[in-house]
């Protein structure tokens, strides 16, 4: 069954209140609902349909009288009164048998829920759609020491606890947690002086991993007040860590539930990257309280209304807490690695999709990351003051509502007087626009001509020109900025902009700060790129120039067997030695583009990427760079070693990132001596992990890997790193075998999504290993997807995306992948989730 945006019809009934009673038992939990429904007088659709899946119906009463509803596919229908009535239902569910981790399930003997997008229907019969909002009162009965739900606590006693959430919400924001948990407490006083109790709930033993998350939460609460004027609205804010979770985290009202990997942090067990990610996800979920919860989505097609905006907000937060340019560069790297391939392949869809079979398949990089980019463009086009003016209007006008992208854009139109008709195409057109630039200079007048076009995507053969904000600055040939950044607004297929009064032909710096998610195409020279790497005043474009140099060098190595470009090696060496430059920035410039990125670039230019050649070029390049730096490497490495007690702050993390890059280069020359030393001396995971990675990459480190296992075997999150790292560092011909051996390890657990992703995310992420010509990687993944689909369709379906780039490769690889996709598609009893993914990937 396919659902379409155009078919939207409101539910014919208001839900005035919801009372739920849970009688907890692992295999036989009873859920009693008492719901007050009121028919909408002017409803076009009067059918009383409630969603329900995997429920055992015990009884139903309407206004106290037994009734017999008709069970239909995906729920039930029932004859109901024409006036307000009380619906009472009792159902039985099996949390312990719920391996899909959707609805109410058990993780490590603890009860927890995941209802977004459509999991509430696995808890009881209900109009499980985001535009149906109600207040919820919850009573939990059971012997669990801690029993939590949304909102404020209303009392508790021996074997029971009661909760009330005063804010009307859709069912997807419902949450319940019960188990043997301990809290790490905190508190926050809001700008209007209200004291909010904060808790991070964890399993006993994890209390020492909560301090950082708690600080991140407080910083988020303060930041949202300072920047958006938004204040928290309950007496209590709870976060819970669970080990088995399909996604990162969930913004349930007043009771956020987190994958433990996204909240638990300690210097000994978490890397700098983990710390930064945890801070961002805590902020993200907290920010949803306004962008998502107080204002929610009318239907799931509007998902980017809350996700794009909330990702945009958490990126603003991270830039403010850490380094703005570094955050921007990181985000663009992620966008290109995850969203561009989606946009360029069979899974392409607009940020607001218009159809789906299974909504869980649309929690994508396009909805989240491109959704955030679209907001960034909007902010750039209207300016900062107008942006905050529009946001203020958004919260005033739509608080308590379930909204659409149209509502969102209307707020901007009303606040700024700007027509956003054409801008709206960003929400409806899939595909990454290509922007071709040419230049002209005569008599002090410099003209840039832009041509935009977007390749066809599934279901969208023709694309209209979009509004593209292109931030441009001009540099003089001696490196001075002669024109500060200016935003050019492309609206047509082809358009020129002229800058007058220039003393000489300038060097343009185009798409500063990556002002639009497009692919810029421009004929330029490596000399000019090196010039920008040295002189651009825009840090993003300075990095971009280095990145372009790296790509050109590698592309030339792959296509023509050329040696690494010496001018580029010299530029890198100069930058690495330049202590006036931010270490984090230097680490980024020193990090080579990923092999998948090179494959994508080759494909964009009409070549068939050869993963093995791309790997060989990467190896040669890194080896050459290490040799070029040889004499200075030990000194540079030593200078960037961070001494003293570990602190996860951005400055120290930047130094460690550079130090880690240098160590990996050094390990290619010194036989691993320094890495062995660093491994032995490390008192924090960042340095321990960097040393182990450098060794494994050099096909050394067996001793350290064993020591790592012995030290951390009881820590699930650290063990995920151990599983992933071995596969990520394996040579192409050994990758599949390494992954396969690890699936036979006693600690491999199919049912734990983190562990499954550790293995198969690393396999899919090892470009040359996954795409090894033997096809073993393809087959191993398919074997395991088929097995996992029976347990956990959601995680299976997401991982199918590993095959999405298949049409880029040669006929041999294509047929190997097609065979695996077909095998998955033909599996009997395949889930709707996985079926939708494989058919979409195959069909294009």
246 binds, among ligand ARG, Zn ion, none (CB under 5 to 8 A by kind): ligand ARG
Binding window for ligand ARG (CB under 6 A); candidates: 162-170, 187-195, 248-256, 638-646? 248-256
Q: Does 249 bind ligand ARG (CB under 6 A)?
A: yes
Q: Which of 199, 220, 238, 246 binds ligand ARG (CB under 6 A)?
A: 246
What is the nearest approach in angstroms of ligand ARG to the Cβ of residue 539?
28
20 Cβ contact list (under 8 Å, min separation 6): 31, 32, 33, 34, 124, 136, 137, 138, 139
**Residues 309, 506: Cα–Cα separation, whole Å:** 37
Within 713-810, residue ranges assigned H as helices are 716-728, 732-743, 753-765, 767-770, 776-789, 793-799
537: cis peptide before it, omega within 30°?
no
In the complex, least distance from residue 310 CB atom to Zn ion, rounded to whole angstroms: 5
**Site for ligand ARG (CB under 6 A): which residue of 140, 217, 250, 390?**
250
> C-alpha angle with apex 263: 160 to 747, nearest 5 degrees?
90
Answer positive or negative: Cα dihedral of 390, 396, 400, 404: negative
Whose Cβ is closer to ligand ARG: residue 113's or residue 628's?
113
Q: Which of 285, 369, 373, 833 binds ligand ARG (CB under 6 A)?
A: 285
> Which of 449, 588, 460 lies closest to 510 in space, CA to CA?
449
Q: Secondary structure of 124-183 in the HEC alphabet? A: CCECCCCCCCEEEEEEEECCCCEEEECCEEEEEECCEEEEEEEEEECHHHCCEEEECCEE
Complex with Zn ion: residue 142 or 292, whichever CB lies closer = 292
CA 185, distance to chain mean position in Å, is 28
Element (H, E) at 331: helix 324-334
Structure tokens at 387: 């942006």
Residue 120 touches ligand ARG, criterion: CB under 6 A: no
Stretch that binds ligand ARG, among 111-119, 271-279, 492-500, 771-779 (CB under 6 A): 111-119
By beta-carbon proximity to Zn ion, the closer residue of 318 and 726 is 318
Q: Tell me whether residue 285 is one of the annotated catalytic residues.
A: yes
Least separation in angstroms between residue 311's CB and ligand ARG is 8
CB atoms inside a 10 Å sphere around CB 491: 12
User: What is the closest distance, in whole angstroms, from the C-beta atom of residue 397 to ligand ARG in the complex?
Assistant: 23
CA–CA separation, 139 and 121 (whole Å): 18
Residue 128 is a binding residue for ligand ARG (CB under 6 A): no
- Per CB under 6 A, the list member of 24, 62, 89, 117 interacting with ligand ARG is 117
Nearer to ligand ARG, 251 or 670 (CB): 251
DSSP string over 615-670: HHHHHHHHHHHHHHTTTTHHHHHHHTPPPSS----HHHHHHHHHHHHHHHHHHTTS
Q: Which residues, listed in sequence order, are joined to residue 452 by a DSSP beta bridge? A: 435
35 scored as a contact of ligand ARG (CB under 6 A):
no
**Rg, Å, the chain Cα set:** 27
Give residues 301-330 in contact with Zn ion (rule: CB under 5 A): 307, 310
Q: How far is the CB of 401 from ligand ARG (least distance, A)?
A: 18
Q: How far apart are CA 314 and CA 280, in angstroms?
A: 6
Residue 262 Cβ, how far from Zn ion at the closest point, in Å? Answer: 12
Q: How far is the CB of 119 from ligand ARG (least distance, A)?
A: 7
Please identify which residue in the block is written with the tokens 């990610």. 277
Residue 432 φ then ψ, to 5°: -90, 120
- Quick one: which of 78, 36, 82, 84 has its CA closest to 57? 78
- Contacts (Cβ under 8 Å, ≥6 apart) of 812: 773
For residue 425 the two structure tokens come to 């195409």
Q: Centre a 10 Å sphere on the Cβ of residue 335 and count the other Cβ atoms it contains.
A: 20
Q: Which is nearer to ligand ARG, 115 or 533 (CB)?
A: 115
Site for ligand ARG in 330-389 (CB under 6 A): 360, 363
**How is residue 341 written in tokens?**
């391939």
Contact with ligand ARG (CB under 6 A): which of 24, 241, 247, 532?
247
Q: For ligand ARG, which is the closer residue by CB, 37 or 287?
A: 287
Residues between 784 and 813 with contacts to ligand ARG, criterion CB under 6 A? 794
Active-site residue identified among 88, 162, 285, 836: 285
Alpha carbon 219 to its chain's center? 21
The structure tokens 């760079």 sit at 625
Residues touching Zn ion, count (CB under 5 A): 2
Among Zn ion, ligand ARG, none, the one that 249 touches (CB under a kind-dependent 5 to 8 A) is: ligand ARG
Peptide bond into 640 cis (omega under 30): no
* Beta-carbon contacts of residue 711 (< 8 Å; ≥ 6 apart): none
DSSP character string of 8-28: ----SEEEEEEEEEEE--SS-
Partner whose footprint covers residue 117, from Zn ion, ligand ARG, none (CB < 5 to 8 Å by kind):
ligand ARG
Q: How far is the CB of 315 from Zn ion (least distance, A)?
A: 12
Q: How far apart are CA 390 and CA 733, in angstroms?
A: 54
Contact 746, 783 (CB under 8 A): no
Q: Please state the closest distance from residue 251 (CB atom) to ligand ARG, in A.
A: 5
Closest distance between ligand ARG and the C-beta of residue 7, in Å? Answer: 21
Using CB under 6 A as the binding rule, the residues of this chain from 300 to 319 that contact ligand ARG are 307
Instruction: Give how far Cα 669 sits from Cα of 151, 563, 675, Å.
Output: 58, 19, 11
Our CA dihedral for 297, 301, 305, 308, rounded to 10 degrees, sits at 140
Residue 247 binding partner per list ligand ARG, Zn ion, none, with a CB distance cut-off of 5 to 8 Å that depends on partner kind:
ligand ARG
Among 18, 50, 116, 301, binds ligand ARG (CB under 6 A): 116
Can you tell me whether residue 556 is helix, strand or coil?
Answer: helix
Told to check if 251 binds ligand ARG by CB under 6 A, we report yes
Residue 87: name the closest of 115, 127, 140 by CA.
Answer: 127
* Size of interface with ligand ARG, in residues (CB under 6 A): 14
Distance CA 844, CA 460 (A): 12
CB of 425 to Zn ion, least distance (A): 24
Residue 363 contact, options ligand ARG, Zn ion, none, Cβ 5-8 Å cut-off depending on partner type: ligand ARG
**Which partner, Zn ion, ligand ARG, none, binds residue 141 by CB below 5 to 8 Å per kind?**
none
Site of interaction with ligand ARG (CB under 6 A): 114, 116-117, 246-247, 249-251, 284-285, 307, 360, 363, 794
> Catalytic residue positions?
285
Catalog residues that contact Zn ion under the rule CB under 5 A.
Answer: 307, 310
């Amino acid at each position: 069954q396919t659902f379409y945006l155009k078919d939207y019809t409101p539910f014919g009934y208001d839900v005035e209140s919801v009372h739920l009673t849970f009688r907890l038992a692992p295999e036989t939990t009873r859920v009693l609902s008492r719901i007050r429904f009121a028919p909408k007088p002017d409803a076009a659709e009067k059918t009383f349909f409630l969603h329900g899946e995997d429920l055992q119906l015990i009884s139903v009463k309407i206004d106290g009288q037994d009734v017999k509803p008709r069970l239909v596919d995906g729920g039930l229908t029932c004859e109901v009164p024409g006036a307000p009535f009380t619906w009472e239902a009792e159902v039985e569910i099996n949390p312990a048998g719920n391996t899909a981790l959707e609805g109410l399930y058990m993780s490590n003997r603890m009860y927890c829920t995941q209802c977004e997008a459509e999991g509430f229907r696995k808890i009881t019969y209900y109009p499980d759609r985001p535009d149906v909002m109600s207040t919820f009162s919850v009573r939990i009965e059971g012997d669990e020491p801690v029993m939590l739900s949304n909102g404020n606590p209303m009392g508790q006693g021996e074997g029971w606890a009661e909760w009330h959430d005063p804010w009307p919400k859709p069912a997807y924001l419902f949450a319940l947690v019960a188990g043997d948990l301990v809290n790490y407490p905190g508190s926050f006083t809001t700008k209007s002086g209200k004291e909010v109790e904060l808790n991070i709930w964890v399993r006993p033993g994890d209390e020492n991993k909560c301090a950082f998350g708690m600080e991140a939460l407080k910083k988020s609460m303060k930041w949202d007040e300072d920047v958006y004027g938004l204040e928290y609205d309950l007496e209590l804010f709870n976060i819970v860590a669970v080990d088995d979770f399909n996604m990162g985290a969930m913004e349930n009202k007043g009771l956020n539930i987190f994958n433990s990997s996204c909240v638990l942090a300690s210097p000994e067990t978490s890397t700098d990257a983990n710390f930064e990610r945890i801070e961002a996800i805590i902020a993200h979920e907290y920010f949803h309280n306004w962008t998502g919860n107080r204002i929610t989505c009318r239907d799931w097609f509007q998902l980017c209304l809350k996700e794009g905006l909330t990702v945009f907000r958490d990126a603003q937060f991270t830039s403010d807490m850490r380094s703005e340019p570094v955050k921007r560069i990181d985000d663009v790297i992620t966008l290109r690695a995850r969203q561009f391939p989606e946009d360029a392949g069979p899974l392409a869809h607009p940020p607001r999709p218009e159809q789906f079979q299974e909504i869980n398949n649309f929690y994508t990089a396009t909805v989240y990351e491109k959704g955030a980019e679209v907001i960034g463009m909007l902010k750039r086009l209207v300016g900062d003051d107008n942006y905050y003016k529009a946001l203020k209007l958004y919260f005033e006008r739509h608080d308590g509502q379930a909204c659409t992208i149209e509502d969102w854009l209307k707020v901007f139109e009303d606040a700024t007087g700007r027509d956003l008709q054409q801008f709206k195409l960003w929400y409806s057109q899939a595909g990454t626009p290509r922007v071709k630039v040419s230049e002209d200079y005569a008599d002090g007048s410099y003209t840039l001509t832009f041509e935009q076009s977007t390749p066809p995507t599934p279901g969208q053969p023709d694309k209209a020109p979009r509004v593209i904000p292109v931030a441009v600055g001009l540099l003089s040939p001696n490196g001075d900025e002669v024109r500060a950044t200016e935003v050019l607004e492309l609206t047509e297929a082809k358009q020129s902009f002229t800058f007058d009064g220039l003393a000489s032909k300038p060097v343009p710096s185009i798409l500063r700060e990556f002002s639009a998610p497009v692919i810029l195409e421009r004929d330029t020279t490596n000399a000019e790129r090196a010039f920008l790497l040295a002189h651009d005043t825009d840090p993003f474009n300075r990095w971009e120039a280095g990145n372009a140099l790296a790509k050109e060098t590698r592309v030339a190595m792959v296509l023509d067997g050329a040696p690494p470009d010496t001018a580029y090696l010299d530029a890198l060496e100069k930058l690495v030695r330049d202590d006036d430059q931010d270490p984090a920035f230097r680490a980024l410039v020193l990090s080579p583009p990923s092999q998948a990125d090179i494959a994508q670039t080759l494909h964009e230019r009409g070549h068939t990427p050869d993963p093995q050649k791309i790997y060989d070029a990467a190896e040669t390049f890194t080896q050459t760079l290490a040799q070029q730096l040889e004499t200075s490497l030990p000194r540079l490495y030593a200078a960037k070693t961070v001494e003293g007690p570990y602190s996860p702050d951005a400055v120290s993390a930047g130094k460690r990132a550079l130090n880690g890059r240098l160590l990996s280069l050094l390990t290619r020359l010194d036989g691993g001596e320094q890495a062995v030393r660093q491994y032995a001396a490390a008192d924090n995971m960042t340095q321990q992990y960097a040393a182990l990675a450098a060794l494994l990459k050099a096909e050394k480190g067996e001793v350290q890997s064993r020591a790592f296992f012995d030290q951390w075997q009881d820590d699930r999150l650290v063990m995920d790193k151990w599983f992933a790292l071995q596969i990520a560092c394996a040579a192409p011909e050994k990758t599949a075998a390494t992954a396969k051996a690890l699936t036979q390890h006693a600690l491999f657990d199919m049912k734990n999504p983190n562990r499954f992703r550790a293995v198969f995310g690393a396999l899919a992420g090892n470009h040359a290993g996954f795409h090894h010509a033997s096809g073993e990687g393809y087959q191993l993944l398919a074997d395991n997807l088929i097995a996992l689909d029976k347990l956990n369709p959601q995680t299976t379906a997401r991982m199918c995306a590993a095959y999405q780039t298949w049409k880029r490769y040669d006929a041999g690889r294509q047929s190997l992948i097609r065979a695996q996709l077909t095998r998955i598609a033909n599996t009997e009893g395949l889930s709707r989730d996985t079926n939708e993914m494989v058919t979409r990937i195959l069909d294009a």
